[in-house]
Structures are given as structure tokens and as C-alpha cells.
Structure 1
């Protein structure tokens, strides 16, 4: 499928925010997906994900939460992630969703969230604060505190159908936490699916990292497309 990609500008709290937009060429409307970056920024990987979604028939927008900065080392990524104002980032994500919802490219009320790492955490945060995307896909997001009542409340208030994808060897997220999360989602009656790739580490989907695992990444991509299509296309 032929696609078109460009940098677009939208407003968040009266300030300009930019994002990387990709969509199929031609007339028609498409389901929308907001793609949320790993702690590296809007790098080659995130641009490729956005373009791959467009090739599959989605209008995809990745808001640039770092405002042009892209980390190339772990130290830079840690610094940028720590400096990011989470509340401002959530507002910018909401504006990205609004941009798609108001675009002539996008089927009304059919916008989902796809987040990686830090972006997965932000997607979960937004979905628990009252804004319910049409679908929610999280790749190796953050690990919450099961003993913190607010974390359980966040799960309880999230109504978006959730696909969670994790690596079994991810040192930042324990298998115990993943089991706890799935138990809570089930107990609260939330539409969800949790997939764990036993041999994968964090960022196994990222083609630019040594942690990339092609077979697991390909399988995870098919699950992602199926989830988005189920809730954004067929719903």
C-alpha cells in the first residue's frame, strides 16, 4: 500500500507540538492510532512503526514529546525521560488524539493508542484518567506497585480494551507483576490479552537495538494489528 508521511503541527496548551504522521494515499477515511515513543524519542524505529501502520490501512501519528531531541545513548535517554513533564506529555497526547479525531483522514471516534516502554506507561496513564481510546496496546510499559491502591484504581478505571506485550527476560518488569496485572484485569472484568515472550528482553520489537528478536517481533506485530483491527475497524 502506498503511503504519505509528513511532519504536522498541532496545539497543546497554546504551544505548538509537532508529530510524525503517516497514512495511506488516496481518498477515504481510516482508523487512527497515536504512537507513543520509547525513551529514545521519535527515532527511526518509531517512524518505521508509524509507516508500517499506514501500510496496513491506519492513519498513525507519533507526537514528538521531546520536541526534536533524539537520544543515541542510554545516558541521554535517561536524562530526557527524567526531564519530561508527564502531565504536559499527557496533554500533548490528548491533543494528538484530537488532531486525528478532527482530521478528514480518520474515521470518527476510532483512535487507539500504541505505546512502547515509556510511551506504554504514558498510554496506560492516559487511559486511566478518563480518556478512553478505542484500543490500547502496550509494549513493555512500566511496572506499577501492586501495594499502591492508586495503581489498582487506575486499572479499575481503564475501560479501553488492553493488549499488553512483554518480554519474559525484561529486568524492569517481573513475571510476578505481569501475573498480578492480568489477575487484576480479569477480576475487574476488563477486556484484555497479555502476551509474554519468554526469551525476549525489553525493546525486543525495536529493530535498531541489540535486543531485537525478529520472530517474537513479527508475532507481536500480528497480534497488534489484529487487536487494532478488532476494536478500531470492526467495532
Structure 2
């Protein structure tokens, strides 16, 4: 499927944010997905994720929370992520949602969230604002931080169907954490699916990282697309 990608600007209350937008070429109204970055920024991986979603029939927008900066080392990534103001980030994510909802390309009642690592935490924060999400997909989740709202808490205010994908070797997400998350989702009556890849660690879907695992990554991507399609499109896969 041919796609179009571009940098777009969306404005809010005294702020202006840019993002990487990709969507299928041609006329059509597509379900939207907000893509939340890992702590590296809008790097090649996140751009490719956004483009791959467009190839699957979505209009995908990755807001650039680092204002054009991309980390190439853990030290820089940690610094950039720690500089984020949570209140401002939430405003910018809501602006991204509104941009998609008001875009003539997008079926406004069908917008989902997809978050990787730090972006997984941000996606659950976005859900906690009460904003309507058609689906929520989290890969890995953020490193634990006592100052952060936990995913168990933040997803409490959303009924969005929840898909969580984790690596069995990710020490920040031990089995106890997964069990508690499952119990919380079940008690809330949230439609959910949890997938664990036993031999994978964090960022196993990112081909630019040493933890990349091609087979697990391909399978996880198929589950991600299937979940988004099921809850945002409810149609057969697009023809090439």
C-alpha cells in the first residue's frame, strides 16, 4: 500500500508541537493511532512504526516530545526523559489526539494509542485523563519510577481494550507485576490480552537495539496490528 508521510504541527493552549504523520495515499477516512515514543525520541524505529501502521490502513501520528532531539546513548535518553514535564506532555498528547480527531483523514471515534517503553507509560497516562481511546497497546512499559503513576492506576479511568506485550527477561516487569496487572484489568472488567515472550527483554521490537529478537518482534507486531484492526477497523486487512 502506498503511503504519505510528513511533519505536522498541532497547537494547544499557548504551545505548539510537531509530530510525524503517516497515512495511506488516496481518498479515505482511516482509523487513527497516536504512537508514543521510546525514551530515544522520534528515531528511525518510531518513524518506521508509524509508516508500517499507515501501510496497514491507519493514520498514525507520533508527537515529537523531545522537540527534534534524538538520543543515541542511554545517558542522553535518561536526561531527555527526565526533563519532560508530565503536565505539559499530557497536554501535548491530548493535542495530538484532537489533531487526529479533527483531521479529515480520520474516523474520529476510532482513535487508539500505541506506546513503546516510556511511551507505554505515557499512553496509560493519556488514558487516565478520561479521553476516549478505541484501543490501547503497550509494549514493555516504562522503567519503574516512584514518581510515576503506575499503569494499574492510570488505566483505571479507561474502558479501552488493552493489549500488553512484555519480555519475560525484562527485570522491570517481573511475573508478579504481570499477575497484578492481569488481576487489575480483570477486576475492572476491561477487555484485555497479555502476551509474554519468555526469552525477550526490553525493546525486543526495535531493530536498532541489541535486545532485538526478529521472530518475537514479527509476532508481536502481528498481534499489535490485529488488536488495532479488531477494535478500530473491524474489517479485513487491506489489499497490497
Structure 2 length as normaliser, TM-score? 0.93
- Please state how far the C-alpha of 1:171 moved relative to its aligned partner: 1.7
Deviations 1:45-93 (A, max 9, x none): 0000000000111000000000011000000000001111111111111
Residues 136-183 of structure 1 show CA distances to partners (whole Å, capped at 9, x for unaligned) of: 0000113669xx998654343221110000000012211110111011
User: C-alpha separation between the residues in 1 aligned to 2:142 and 2:175?
Assistant: 13
Q: Does 1:115 align with 2:115?
A: yes
Contact 2:30 2:59 in 1 (8 A): yes
Aligned residues: 234
Q: Partners of 1:149 and 1:86 in 2: how far apart?
A: 11
Q: 1:51 maps to which residue?
A: 51
Residue 135 (structure 1) aligns with: 135
**Residues 47 and 151 of structure 1: is their aligned pair in 2 closer, same or farther, counting only changes over 3 Å?**
closer
Structure 1: tracts of 5 or more residues without a match: none
Mapped partners of 2:13, 2:195: distance in 1:
36
State how far apart, in whole Å, the 2-side matches of 1:203 and 1:22 are.
Answer: 22
Q: Do the aligned partners of 2:182 and 2:194 also contact (CA within 8 Å) in 1?
A: yes
Partners in 2 of 1:79 and 1:225 — Cα distance?
32
Q: The residue matched to 1:94 in structure 2 has which SS?
A: helix
Deviation at 1:41, TM superposition (A): 0.2
Give yes or no for contact 1:143–1:177 (8 Å, CA) kept in 2: no
Change over 3 Å in CA distance of 1:151–1:175 after alignment to 2: same
Q: Alpha carbons of 1:220 and 1:151: their partners in 2 closer, same or farther (altered >3 Å)? A: closer
Contact 2:134/2:231, CA 8 A, preserved across alignment: yes
Q: Deviations over 1:101-151 (max 9, x none)?
A: 101111121110000000000101111221131100000113669xx9986
1:102 is matched with which residue?
Answer: 102
Which residues in structure 2 correspond to 1:203-222 (within 5 Å)?
203-222=203-222
Residue equivalent to 1:35: 35
Corresponding residue for 2:225?
225
**RMSD, aligned CA:** 1.9
Deviates further, 150-159 or 182-191: 150-159
What is the rounded CA distance, in whole Å, between the counterparts of 2:27 and 2:87 in structure 1?
Answer: 36
8 Å contact kept, 1:140–1:166:
yes
* Structure-2 separation of matches of 1:18 and 1:42: 11
Identify the residue that residue 184 of structure 1 maps to in structure 2. Answer: 184
**Cα distance in 2 between the residues matched to 1:221 and 1:153:** 26
Cα distance, 1:206 vs structure 2: 0.4
**Cα distance change of structure 1 residues 222 and 65 upon mapping to structure 2, 3 Å threshold:** same
The alpha-carbon distance between structure 1 residues 149 and 213, as it changes in their structure 2 partners (threshold 3 A), is closer
Partner SS, residue 4 of structure 2: strand
